[in-house]
C-alpha cells in the first residue's frame, strides 16, 4: 500500500497534474460560488475538457473542482445570503448574521479553515478505512435510509426561526414540491397537469437558487436601505488563533461525522451539514448564539461538507458506485477514459486510485491557499453597488440554470420559486427549510415505499432494524421537543 501511495504522490506532483488541479481549483472555486452551479454541475461542465487527458489526471482535476466548490459554496452564503450549493444552506444562518455584524472576514476564514480540517480528516479516514467504511454503505437498506432522512427532516424543524410551525410548514411545502413528476414506483404522473415539462419534476438546483438566491434578490430590492445593508463597517479581520482554538473540538467531531455520512450514497452533504450544525449547537457553551452569528455555527457545517467529499469516494472506490452526484461525474470521467470503476480498480488501476488519494490531499491544500488569497478581495463584493450585485445574481441564475440542461423550463422553475421564496420570507416562513424539505422528501418517500415492498407491508422493519429504530427515535425526539416547547411557551405566556 505504501508503495502505491508513493506512486500516487508521484503521479499527483507532476507539473501536468499540478497544473490541472490548479485549473480545477480555480474553476471549482468560481463554480461553487456562483448561484445556480452546484459542485456536480461545475464538474459536469469541465468533464468534456478532460477528454484526451490521462485518467488519473482527469480524476485529480475533477477532485480539485469538487473540493474547491464545496468550500466556495459558503462564500455567497456568508456574503449575500445566497448559498452556492445546497450543503451551504445551513451556513447562511450564522455566516450571514456574522457578515451583517461586519465580521464577514471571520466567517469566511472559519469556513475555510474548518473546510480544510474536514478535508484532511476525511482524506486520512478514506485512505485508512476504505473497506470498513464501505460496509457501512452496504448495511444501509431502505429502512435505514428512511430513518436517516427522517432524522434530517426533524433537524430542519429544530433549526428554529421565529415560528416552529411555520418552519415545519415550509419544509412540508418543499417535500410536497418534490412529489411533482412521474412516480418511479408506478409510473403515474403526479401533479403534472398534463405538462410534458413537469413529468421530470422540478430540478433541485433550480429550486435551491430560486428559493434562496432569487428570493433574496427580491427581499433586498424591497429593502429601501441603499448599500449599508451589505457593507456596514466591514472589518477585514480574519479569525485569530485565539478565536479558532475553541472551535477545534467541534471541527474534529463534525469532520469525522461528515466523512461517515458522506459514505452513505444519496444522503450526502446536505444532511451532513444539518447534523453537524445541530450537534455543534448541542455541545456548544453558547447555544443561544446560534442563528445570531456563532462562529461554531459556521465551522460545523462547513467542516462536515468538506469531509463528505472523501466520504463519497468510498462507495466509488469500493464498488464503483457513486456516493453523490459529484462522484457520479467522476465515474463518468473514468468510463470516458476506458477505466471501468469497480471492486477491481485497486488491483487493475492502482495509479488511478492512489493518484486520486494523493490528488485529494493536494486539492485540499490548494483550496486552503486559494481561499486564503481570495478572502480579502471577496469581501469587496459586499461593497459593490447594490444594483449591480442584484443584477449580477439574477443574470447568473438565469444563465447558470440554463446551462445545466439548456432548458427554459428550468430557468422558469428558478424564477418561479424565487417569487415563492420572497413571499415565504416576507411572512416569516423559511425558504431554507423548504429547500431542505425538497432535498430530503424524495429520499423519505422512496425509502419508505421500498422498505414496505421488501417487508410486504409490515411496518415492523423500522423497529427490527436497530439502526433504523435508533435513528427514528432520535428523529421523533428532535422533532417533538421544539413543538412541545413552543406549545408550553405559548400556554405559559398566556
Residues 6-45 that bind other proteins (CB under 8 A): 44-45
- Residue from 3, 224, 242, 377 binding other proteins (CB under 8 A): 224
Per CB under 8 A, the list member of 153, 321, 424, 434 interacting with other proteins is 321
Longest dimension (CA), the chain: 71
* Residue tagged 413529468 (cell numbers): 199
Q: Is 187 in the site for other proteins (CB under 8 A)?
A: yes
Residues in 49-68 at the binding interface with other proteins, rule: CB under 8 A = 51
469 binds other proteins (CB under 8 A): no
**Least distance to other proteins, CB of residue 132, Å:** 15
* Residues with Cβ within 8 Å of residue 194, at least 6 apart in sequence: none
Q: Write out the binding residues for other proteins, residues 89-148 only, by CB under 8 A.
A: 137-142
First to last CA, the chain: 67
Grid cell locating 156: 430542519
> Any contact of residue 466 with other proteins (CB under 8 A)?
no
- Reference 466, options 54, 143, 9, 166; nearest CA is 143
Q: Could you say which of 18, 129, 381, 392 contacts other proteins (CB under 8 A)? A: 392
Q: How far is the CB of 487 from other proteins (least distance, A)?
A: 8
Q: H/E/C letters for each residue in 68-94? A: HHHHHCHHHHHHHCCCCCHHHHHHHHH
Q: Pick from 32, 258, 418, 421 the residue near other proteins by CB under 8 A.
A: 418
CB of 63 closer than 8 Å to CB of 78: no
Cβ-based nearer residue to other proteins, 115 or 315? 315
Nearer to other proteins, 232 or 342 (CB): 342
Of residues 422 through 451, those in contact with other proteins by CB under 8 A are 426-428, 445-446, 448-450
Query: Which long-range contacts link 400-404 to residues 24+ away (Cβ below 8 Å)?
Result: 400/34, 400/35, 400/36, 400/37, 400/41, 400/209, 401/36, 401/203, 401/205, 401/206, 401/209, 403/37, 403/41, 403/45, 404/36, 404/41, 404/203, 404/205, 404/206
Residue 110 vs 151, nearer CB to other proteins: 151
Q: Which of 193, 242, 460, 491 binds other proteins (CB under 8 A)?
A: 491
Q: Which is nearer to other proteins, 101 or 407 (CB)?
A: 407
Applying CB under 8 A, the span of 125-133, 359-367, 380-388, 470-478 interacting with other proteins comes to: 380-388
Q: How many positions of this chain bind other proteins (CB under 8 A)?
A: 109
Among 9, 22, 189, 289, binds other proteins (CB under 8 A): 189
- Of the candidates 252, 17, 281, 6, the residue with the CA atom closest to the CA atom of residue 119: 252
Least distance from other proteins to the Cβ atom of residue 366, Å: 20
User: Are the C-beta atoms of residues 265 and 315 closer than 8 Å to each other?
Assistant: yes
Nearer to other proteins, 181 or 246 (CB): 181
Q: How many CB atoms lie within 10 A of CB 213?
A: 28
Closer residue to other proteins, CB minimum distance, 179 or 284: 179
Q: Using CB under 8 A, which of 291, 412, 469, 474 touches other proteins?
A: 412
Contacts of 195 (CB under 8 A, 6+ apart): none
- Which x/- pattern over 344-363 shows residues binding other proteins (rule: CB under 8 A)? xx------------------
Q: Which of 24, 95, 341, 431: binder of other proteins (CB under 8 A)?
A: 341
Question: Which residue number, 133 or 362, has a Cβ lying nearer to other proteins?
Answer: 133
Establish if 163 lies at the interface with other proteins (CB under 8 A).
yes
Q: Pick the binder of other proteins from 175, 207, 434, 439 (CB under 8 A).
A: 175
Site for other proteins contains 378 (CB under 8 A):
no
Q: Which of these segments, 98-106, 222-230, 305-313, 473-481, binds other proteins (CB under 8 A)?
A: 222-230
Amino acid at each position: 500500500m505504501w508503495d502505491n501511495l508513493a506512486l500516487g504522490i508521484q503521479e499527483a506532483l507532476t507539473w501536468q497534474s499540478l497544473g490541472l488541479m490548479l485549473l480545477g481549483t480555480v474553476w471549482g472555486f468560481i463554480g461553487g460560488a456562483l448561484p445556480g452551479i452546484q459542485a456536480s454541475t461545475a464538474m459536469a461542465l469541465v468533464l468534456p475538457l478532460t477528454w484526451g487527458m490521462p485518467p488519473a489526471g482527469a480524476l485529480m482535476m475533477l477532485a480539485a473542482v469538487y473540493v474547491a466548490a464545496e468550500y466556495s459554496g459558503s462564500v455567497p452564503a456568508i456574503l449575500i445570503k445566497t448559498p452556492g450549493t445546497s450543503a451551504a444552506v445551513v451556513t447562511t444562518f450564522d455566516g450571514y448574521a456574522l457578515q451583517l455584524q461586519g465580521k464577514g472576514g471571520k466567517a469566511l476564514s472559519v469556513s475555510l479553515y474548518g473546510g480544510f480540517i474536514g478535508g484532511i480528516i476525511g482524506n486520512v479516514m478514506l485512505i485508512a478505512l476504505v473497506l470498513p467504511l464501505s460496509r457501512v454503505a452496504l448495511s444501509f437498506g431502505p429502512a435505514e435510509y428512511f430513518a436517516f432522512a427522517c432524522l434530517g427532516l426533524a433537524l430542519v424543524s429544530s433549526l428554529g426561526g421565529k415560528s416552529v410551525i411555520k418552519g415545519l410548514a415550509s419544509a412540508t411545502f418543499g417535500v410536497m414540491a418534490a412529489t411533482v413528476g412521474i412516480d418511479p414506483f408506478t409510473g403515474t404522473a403526479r401533479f403534472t397537469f398534463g405538462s410534458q415539462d413537469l413529468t421530470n419534476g422540478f430540478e433541485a438546483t433550480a429550486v435551491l437558487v430560486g428559493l434562496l438566491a432569487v428570493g433574496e434578490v427580491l427581499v433586498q430590492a424591497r429593502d429601501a436601505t441603499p448599500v449599508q445593508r451589505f457593507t456596514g463597517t466591514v472589518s477585514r479581520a480574519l479569525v485569530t488563533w485565539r478565536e479558532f482554538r475553541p472551535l477545534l473540538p467541534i471541527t474534529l467531531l463534525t469532520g469525522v461525522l461528515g466523512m461517515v455520512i458522506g459514505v452513505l450514497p444519496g444522503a450526502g452533504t446536505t444532511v451532513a451539514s444539518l447534523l453537524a450544525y445541530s450537534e455543534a449547537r448541542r455541545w456548544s457553551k453558547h447555544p443561544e448564539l446560534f442563528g445570531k452569528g456563532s462562529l461554531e455555527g459556521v465551522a460545523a457545517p462547513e467542516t462536515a461538507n468538506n469531509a463528505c467529499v472523501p466520504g463519497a469516494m468510498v462507495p466509488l472506490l469500493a464498488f464503483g458506485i457513486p456516493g453523490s452526484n459529484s462522484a457520479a461525474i467522476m465515474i463518468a470521467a473514468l468510463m470516458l477514459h476506458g477505466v471501468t470503476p469497480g471492486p477491481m480498480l485497486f488491483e487493475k488501476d492502482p495509479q488511478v486510485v492512489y493518484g486520486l488519494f494523493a490528488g485529494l490531499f493536494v486539492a485540499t491544500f490548494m483550496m486552503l491557499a486559494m481561499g486564503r488569497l481570495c478572502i480579502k478581495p471577496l469581501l469587496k463584493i459586499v461593497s459593490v453597488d447594490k444594483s449591480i450585485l442584484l443584477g449580477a445574481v439574477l443574470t447568473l441564475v438565469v444563465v447558470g440554470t440554463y446551462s445545466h440542461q439548456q432548458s427554459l423550463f428550468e430557468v422558469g422553475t428558478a424564477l418561479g420559486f424565487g417569487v415563492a421564496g420572497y413571499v415565504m420570507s416576507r411572512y416569516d416562513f423559511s425558504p431554507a427549510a423548504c429547500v431542505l424539505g425538497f432535498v430530503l422528501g424524495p429520499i423519505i418517500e422512496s425509502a419508505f415505499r421500498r422498505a414496505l415492498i421488501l417487508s410486504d407491508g409490515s411496518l415492523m422493519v423500522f423497529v427490527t432494524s436497530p439502526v433504523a429504530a435508533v435513528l427514528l427515535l432520535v428523529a421523533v425526539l428532535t422533532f417533538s421537543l421544539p413543538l412541545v416547547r413552543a406549545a408550553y411557551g405559548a400556554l405559559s405566556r398566556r
